[in-house]
């Protein structure tokens, strides 16, 4: 297993997060926000971005999965649902990566059926070349090519999530 050079360094990540958070703060000015992190991958991005959003905010989490090793199974499992009732609330979903789009599509539809006042999505990485279904993204950290990446919350078999940067992962050279 090989971890390549950082695709995005910790410094580049923090700079981009500040820009995104400023945009979010401005868009939600005067509104109360419920930020929902999609675990496990989004834990690091979530904690960094909410620290930089400057508007009244509550948090909640969903635990979802659809990957086995490096492949999407296409089947989304919800391991733990929200604790909050989202009806009539301004919800901001925070996701680490959108690849096929299947996970996010499933979660967006599930949450829309609960009648929030608004639902927006902030994704740290957008791997557009791999999209299988159309999903609406309101805030995106970085676009990435069709490469398997790890670090900053993203994993291979639940490893490498603790790296403070994003790197390309190869099973062998
Ligand atoms: C990853 C990632 C996204 C999803 C994106 O989750 O965190 O939720 O895959 O892929 P998609 O657009 O092809 O659906 P994973 O199932 O690996 O679980 P994890 O969050 O625990 O890493």
Mean pLDDT per 10-residue section of the chain, whose length is 173 residues: 88 98 97 97 98 97 88 88 98 97 96 98 97 97 96 96 95 69
Q: Does some domain include residue 68?
A: yes
CATH of the domain at 97: 3.40.50.2020
- Domain range for 66 is 31-163
Instruction: Compute the distance from residue 30 Cα to the ligand 1 centre, in Å.
Output: 32
Q: pTM of this prediction? A: 0.95
Best residue among 41, 135, 161 to mutate for probing ligand 1's pocket (most ligand atoms within 8 Å of CB) is 41
Which residues are near ligand 1 (CB < 6 Å)?
A: 38, 40-41, 64-67, 72, 95-104, 155
For atom 22 of ligand 1, which residue has the closest CA?
41
Active site residue 155: no
In a domain, 173, yes or no: no
Q: 12 lies in a domain?
A: no
Instruction: Take atom 13 of ligand 1 and give the residue whose Cα is closest.
Output: 100
Q: Structurally, how many domains does the chain consist of?
A: 1
Nearest to 60 by CA among 96, 86, 78: 86
Within a domain: 159:
yes
Q: How far is the CA of 67 from the centre of ligand 1 (A)?
A: 6
Give Cα separations from 132 to 54, 99, 128 (angstroms): 34, 8, 9
Q: Judge whether 5 lies within some domain.
A: no
- In the set 27, 85, 88, 99, the catalytic residue is 99
- Given this model, what pLDDT does residue 25 score? 98
Pairing between strand 139-143 and 118-126?
parallel
CA–CA separation, 31 and 122 (whole Å): 17
Residue 1: what pLDDT? 74
Provide the angle, in degrees to the nearest 10, between the axes of the packed helices 43-52 and 10-27. Answer: 50
Would you state the structure tokens that stand for residue 88, as one six-digit string? 């009539």
In a domain, 3, yes or no: no
């Amino acid at each position: 297993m090989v971890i390549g050079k950082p695709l995005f360094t910790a410094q580049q990540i923090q700079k981009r997060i500040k820009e995104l958070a400023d945009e979010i703060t401005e868009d939600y000015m005067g509104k109360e926000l419920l930020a929902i992190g999609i675990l496990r991958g989004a834990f690091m991005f979530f904690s960094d971005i909410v620290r930089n959003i400057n508007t009244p905010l509550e948090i909640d989490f969903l635990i979802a999965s659809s990957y086995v090793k490096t492949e999407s199974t296409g089947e989304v499992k919800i391991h733990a649902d929200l604790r909050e009732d989202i009806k009539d609330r301004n919800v901001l979903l925070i996701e680490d990566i959108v690849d096929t789009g299947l996970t996010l599509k499933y979660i967006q539809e599930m949450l829309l059926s609960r009648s929030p006042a608004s639902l927006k999505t902030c994704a740290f990485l957008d791997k557009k070349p791999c999209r299988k279904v159309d999903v609406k993204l309101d805030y995106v950290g970085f676009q990435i090519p069709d490469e398997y990446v790890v670090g900053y919350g993203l994993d291979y078999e639940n490893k490498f999530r603790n790296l403070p940067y994003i790197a390309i992962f190869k099973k062998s050279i």
